[in-house]
Structure 1
Amino acid sequence: MRKPLLMLVLAAALNGLTACASAPSADLGSAPGVKEGSTPSKGSTLIIKDFADRSITFPSAPQKIVALANGEMDIVYALGGTLVGRPTATVPAALQAAQSVEQVGSTHGLDLEKIALLSPDVVLGNHPLNTKDIPGVEGVGSKMVLTSANSIDDIKKQIGLFGQLLQKEDKAKELTQAIDQKLQELKTTPSTAKTRVLMVYGAPGTYMAALNNSLSGDILVSAGGENIAADYPKLDNYPQYAQVNTEKIMKSNPQLIVIMTHGSPEKVKDGFMKEMQQNAAWSSLDAVKNNHIEILPADLFGTNPGTKVVEALDLMSKRLQAAK
């Protein structure tokens, strides 16, 4: 029974490749959202523009939604929506309502057969990771909306765009205002010398320093910290990160070292510590002397936390204060 379905999906995808034309061009530089000049109301045609500057038309607000990442899933549920397909990943504690939803892969590899069976109105993917998947998704009769989250502003734009998509604009404003309020609170905190921080994204044997143009780097700076890796040269394949430079770390003397990872956190921390301890000056760092080397929650850092970015900012602020 699976083979005929696979052939049908593949044939539809091939049709999508040949029939898929470029979407109407949108003004470059304008914010993602409802296309200029359209004022959709419930039940009317909806035209939105995603982060890839693609104009996408829906006959009405989509009801059957698939999300390929936890951040997008969080935003949909925070807006009062639900999913028919979710990322193949551990569901954050705050999203247990989505636990039983069908898993369909991730932004790094979606399951087109499962998506075809669910027949969603829209699939929420990443720009640019899922650009290559547009023809396949459209070939099985669904639309794809691409967004990204490399900054807090990006998350706010995601919330606004999804609010327009689900026609939950008022709720979207409420959610973005909560983020703005938290940012304002952090700005009004009495200023003292900023805590020097090294943010490391790690997997066993691989470690990268987060730059300020990454989401985690933006959270750090917005919470009042100083990223010691801010001027490190970015990696070609991962422009939001840089190679960990032991000599520069020793020179900057961070007061706090935080580690982000998706799996085996203690193993990643131990591996990073062993690598750094090869330098004799490691034990003289303020962060090491004061035992301020911490693993950050995976659902808040190193990935898009969605509306929970407020919690990420709060947690980072507390860590910065404790390390002074």
Structure 2
Amino acid sequence: MKKVVKLIGVSFLCLGIMTACQTKAPEASAPKSSAQITVTDAANRTLTFKQQPKKVAALSSGDMDIIHALGGEIVGRPTTQAPVSNPELQKATEIGNPHSPNFEKIAAVKPDVLIANSGFERHIPTLEKQGIQVYIAKGSSVDGIQKSIENYGSLLGKQDEAKKWTKQIADKLQSLQKEQPTKKAKALLVYGAPGSYMIALPSSLSGDLLSKVGGENIAAEFPISKEMPGYAQLSTERIVQSNPDVVYLITHGDPAAVQKAFEAEMKKNSAWNNLSAVKNGKIVVLPSHLFGSNPGTKVIESLDFLKDSLAKATGS
């Protein structure tokens, strides 16, 4: 009788184990659903992706640089006069620039997301109809570039890479803060092309870079242009009154041609000859890939270049 009871007990135990195994098996084999990716762009728009975007197109060199530095795949790149040295990026299709996007080529490369800049919002419905999500970026300050790096890291699932870059930039800013010059050089930032010049204000990216390295922007009180926020109209009278130590020329085009055209422009008005910068030959054409637009992760190089240039202007 005891043997029979034991046998019955063992049977129930085995039956319980088998039942437990059968109920747990489906849970182990059930596929896991991927979480949605949600980011907020510079236009305060919330974008939701069912999965991490793989193919990215960018209309500015700075955004392209950041995506590439994080390990993302660039399928569409901006059309610029500047050479593209990276072989991987050379393979990407040119899709125009922020002022003149090529919608046919953007559609042809079929990006999971297109990164554009402020002012592009009116084109978003056209691309959304083709299933292309648009992220609006704004890199008008060093902080803005850091924020873009963080957001792209979240978008691409490259958070660790993004943290490395933002830390490098933060470390550079901290170092510059400790090395502020005792004598601030007065600088004028001239942006444009032959025949069309604007003055960069502190609220522009180049103005923010100048501030970070300890320079004084003589255009701080110039009236803001309605057409180009962050810039002001060129006023020879105001510039002569401020008497900058150095004049910086910023351009997307041929640096030599811009310098020649600007010097010709100055010869038309003899007042320019009274400036300290002109008398001492302190007219500097800034590298277009570091200052012509958002430099992306190369912002560290931009800061170093400007810091060294200002030191030469003041002789420190």
Give yes or no for TM over 0.5. yes
In structure 2, which of residues 285, 293, 307 is the aligned counterpart of residue 303 of structure 1?
Answer: 293
Deviation at 1:190, TM superposition (A): 5.1
Please state if 1:248 is matched with 2:234.
Answer: no
* Equivalent in the alignment of 2:170: 180
Offset, 1:96: 3.9
Identity %: 45
Cα separation, 2, equivalents of 1:150 and 1:285:
29
Q: How far is 1:197 from its partner?
A: 0.3
Unaligned runs of 5+ in 1: 1-40
CA shift digits 1:236-292 (9 cap, x unpaired): 101211111112211211111110111132222222222223343432322112211
User: What is the alpha-carbon distance in structure 2 between the residues aligned to residue 116 and residue 281 of structure 1?
Assistant: 51
Q: Which has the higher helix share?
A: 2
Shift of 1:92: 5.1
- 2:309 match: 319
Query: Is the counterpart of residue 208 in structure 1 residue 198 in structure 2?
Result: yes
1:154 and 1:92 mapped to 2: Cα distance? 25
Distance in 2, matches of 1:94 and 1:151, equals 25
What pairs up with 1:219-238 in 2 under 5 angstroms?
219-238=209-228
Answer with 92-101 or 224-233: which moved more. Answer: 92-101
Aligned-residue offset at 1:106 = 1.6
Aligned-partner SS, 1:323:
helix
3-state SS, counterpart of residue 257 of structure 2? helix
Gaps of 5+ in 2: 1-31
The answer for the alignment partner of 2:154 in structure 1 is: 164
Residues 246 and 171 from structure 1, CA distance in 2 versus in 1: closer, same or farther, beyond 3 angstroms? Answer: same
CA contact (8 A) 1:92 1:299 kept: no
Whole-Å Cα distance in 1 between the matches of residues 294 and 143 of structure 2? 12
Retained in 2: the 8 A contact 1:74–1:95?
A: no
1:51 is aligned to: 42
* 1:213 and 1:240 in contact (8 A); partners too: yes
In structure 2, what is the Cα distance between the partners aligned to 1:58 and 1:160? 17
Conserved? CA contact 1:91–1:99, under 8 Å = no
Q: Distance in 2 between matches of 1:113 and 1:130?
A: 16
CA distance, structure 2, for counterparts of residue 199 and residue 323 of structure 1: 14
- Output the TM-score relative to the length of structure 2: 0.85
Report SS of the residue matched to 1:239.
Answer: coil
SS of the residue aligned with 1:231?
coil
Superposition deviation, residue 71 in structure 1:
0.7
What RMSD, in angstroms, separates the aligned Cα atoms of the two structures? 1.7
Q: State the shift of 1:110 in Å.
A: 1.9
Matched, 1:125 2:116: yes
Q: Which one has the largest radius of gyration?
A: 2
Q: Does 1:109 align with 2:94?
A: no
Matched, 1:197 2:193: no
Q: AA paired with 2:164?
A: E
SS of the residue corresponding to residue 89 of structure 1 reads coil
SS in 2 for 1:154: helix
Q: What does the per-residue CA deviation read over 1:68-89, in whole Å, with 9 as the maximum and x for residues that have no partner?
A: 1101100001101121111112
Measure, in 2, the Cα distance between the counterparts of 1:235 and 1:91: 27
Whole-angstrom CA distance in 2 between matches of 1:48 and 1:70: 21
**Stretch moving more, 41-50 or 103-112:** 41-50
Q: Which moved more, 1:313-322 or 1:95-104?
A: 95-104
Q: 1:42 to 1:118 in 2, by over 3 A?
A: farther
Q: How big is each residue's C-alpha offset from its partner over 1:3-32, in whole Å with a ceiling of 9 and x where there is no partner?
A: xxxxxxxxxxxxxxxxxxxxxxxxxxxxxx
Q: Distance in 1 between matches of 2:299 and 2:33?
A: 29
Measure how far apart 1:91 and its partner are. 5.3
Mapped pair 1:292 → 2:276 = no
Measured in 2, the distance between the counterparts of 1:190 and 1:259 equals: 23
